[in-house]
Amino acid sequence: MKLLLDTHTALWLVNHYEKLSPKAKDMLMDEVNTLYFSIASVWEVAIKASIGKLSEVTGGTRAFITQIKKMPIEMLPISPRHVETVEGLPFIHRDPFDRILIATAQVENMTIITADEYIIKYDVHSAW
C-alpha cells in the first residue's frame, strides 16, 4: 500500500512514534507499505519553524530533511495535476498544505496517515 504521511505524522515518526496511534505505527513499520512524504510538508515545516511554531524538530528544516532522508521514505514533488485537483476539492479544510496532501493522495491513489479530523471528511483513503 502507498502511504502518504501527513506533516504531523512525519514529525512524530522522526520523534520515535510517541504520539502515533498503534495502527499508524504498525502501518508505518510494515515493510509491505511504501512511505511517501510530500515536498508540501517540507514547506510547511519551514514555515512553522520560521515563526517559532515547531517544537518537534531541533535544527529546523534542514535537520528535519536530514532525518527524513535516513528513513525509507520517498520524497514526492507537487505536480500540476495535484494542484488542479485542489481546485475541485470541497472547501472543508482551510489549511492549504493539507489540501495539497488530500489532492496528492487522490491523484496518486495513496492512503494518508493522519490524525486530522478534517482530512477524513474528504473522498480520500486515510488511516490512523
pLDDT tens track, the chain, 128 positions: 999 999 999 999 988 768 899 999 999 999 999 999 999 999 999 998 888 887 777 778 888 899 999 999 999 999 999 999 999 999 998 899 999 999 999 999 999 999 999 999 999 999 99
Residue-level pLDDT at 61: 87
**Cell 520517498 belongs to residue:** 74
CA atoms within 13 A on the CB side of 22: 0
Range 2-127: architecture per CATH: 3-Layer(aba) Sandwich (3.40)
**Sequence ranges of the domains in the chain:** 2-127
Output phi, psi for 37, to 5 deg: -135, 125
